[in-house]
Amino acid sequence: MNHHANIIVNDYQALADADVVVSALGNIKLQDNPNADRFAELPFTSKEVPFVAEQLKKVGFTGIIIVISNPVDVITSLYQHYTGLPKERVIGTGTLLDTARMKRAVGVRFGVDPRSVYGYNLGEHGNSQFTAWSQVRIKGQPISTFASVEELDEIALEALKGGHTVFYGKKYTSYGIASAAIRLAVALVSDSHEELPVSNYYQPLDTYLSYPAIVGREGIVEQVKLSLTEKEEEKLAYSAQFIKQKFAESL
């Protein structure tokens, strides 16, 4: 953060009137496994969520929970389930970082600033996520104007591999997810009404997943309506089903 911050060890009572709580539950050592299983932390973290949720309920916390723990879509679902907070007030960082990596890959390939790339990665923050290429635009045009299907597949793979490269290089991720969490927190407390691809409850598929939404002081203010292709809708449904299955197994 670009200003001085005090870090204080305290108890849950201090969170009673907090606007935002960021949950980073997990055991990162479990992620370093031979099978590269992204769900290796789930048994550990899913057992901790009910305890934290109960403590937040006891102190009367009514703010917004930001979840950065992996698998983030499942853990976000669990937090909403156990806290009983309104769905719009429990949010995961989702594919916010993945989308940034996709934009960087597109920017490098086509010589534009990543901030000038418009589009999203949707679905699970994991292997079933996908870039909705029908929504990606650069230089005022759909990206399909500039790239073949094969090139888009290459770019998607580059973006997907980004997180793996960082993790297996230093055995953890830090700066990227911290930046994503701060960006989301600032958008919430400043009531910016910024459009972000975060993990939020998507009613049509009855689960948490990454889908662009307008975020503000009340949490998820409104979901953006995307006109996805039939194939993209199928990918989103597949990703949703996978998340729902893991959520059900964790209850």
Would you say residue 2 lies in a domain?
no
Digit-coded pLDDT (tens) for 70-127: 999 999 999 999 999 999 999 999 999 999 999 999 999 999 999 999 999 999 999 8
Collapsing DSSP states into helix, strand and coil, what is residue 7? coil
Position 7 scores a pLDDT of 85
Residue 154: CB atoms within 10 Å:
14
Tokens of 247: 């959520």
Q: Is 4 a catalytic residue?
A: no
Would you say residue 1 lies in a domain?
no
* C-alpha distances out from residue 27 to 39, 40, 157, Å: 11, 9, 27
Active-site entry in 3, 125, 164, 193 = 125
The domain boundary, picked from 92, 123, 156, lies at 92
Do 73 and 107 reside in the same domain of the chain? no
The domain boundary, picked from 92, 114, 145, lies at 92
Would you say residue 162 lies in a domain?
yes
Position 157 scores a pLDDT of 85
145 Cβ partners below 8 Å, 6+ apart? none
157 Cβ partners below 8 Å, 6+ apart? none
Would you say residue 5 lies in a domain?
no
Digit-coded pLDDT (tens) for 5-60: 788 889 999 999 999 999 999 998 887 776 657 798 999 999 999 999 999 999 99
Do 36 and 76 reside in the same domain of the chain? yes
Digit-coded pLDDT (tens) for 117-151: 999 999 999 989 999 999 999 999 999 999 999 99
Do 71 and 102 reside in the same domain of the chain? no
64 in Cβ contact with 91 (< 8 Å): yes
Would you say residue 237 lies in a domain?
yes
Position 166 scores a pLDDT of 59
Do 74 and 171 reside in the same domain of the chain? no
Distance CA 109, CA 132 (A): 17
Q: Which domain holds residue 50?
A: 12-92
Position 163 scores a pLDDT of 63
Would you say residue 4 lies in a domain?
no
Do 67 and 139 reside in the same domain of the chain? no
Question: What's the domain count of the chain?
Answer: 2
pTM attached to this predicted model: 0.93
Angle (CA) 182 159 235, round 5°: 100
> What integer is the mean pLDDT of 192-197?
98
